[in-house]
Structure 1
Amino acid sequence: EQSLEEHLAQVERAAIEKALRDTNQNKTAAARELGITFRALRYKLEKLGIE
């Protein structure tokens, strides 16, 4: 069983990876699609180890 924090990270990772695929890896467009700032997306990418 995973913690709430682990579950949220997994959901966040899936949403970010989908947005990046949908926008052909365009981080600005992915942030817009997710409804967050580019800076917030950059932070989440680093936090989740996505590149």
Structure 2
Amino acid sequence: MVVVMFLQFYRLISLWLQLFFSSRIINLCTLYIGHFVLIFDLSMFALPLVFF
């Protein structure tokens, strides 16, 4: 009985950690993509100012 409870607890913790780390990775990816888009927008805005 205790072993079954421990296994269920372990499965719950591993699932929670998987969700936590996958969401962290997704957040980092969106953060990097947003950063890249921001730099791209700034460069597209700054290039005409440099050339003209």
Shorter-chain TM-score bucket reads 0.3 to 0.5
Bigger proportion of residues as helix: 2
Q: Which has the larger radius of gyration?
A: 2
Flag the structure with more relative contact order, 1 or 2, with Cα contacts below 8 A and sequence separation at least 6.
1
TM-score, normalization by structure 1? 0.43
**Structure 2 length as normaliser, TM-score?**
0.42
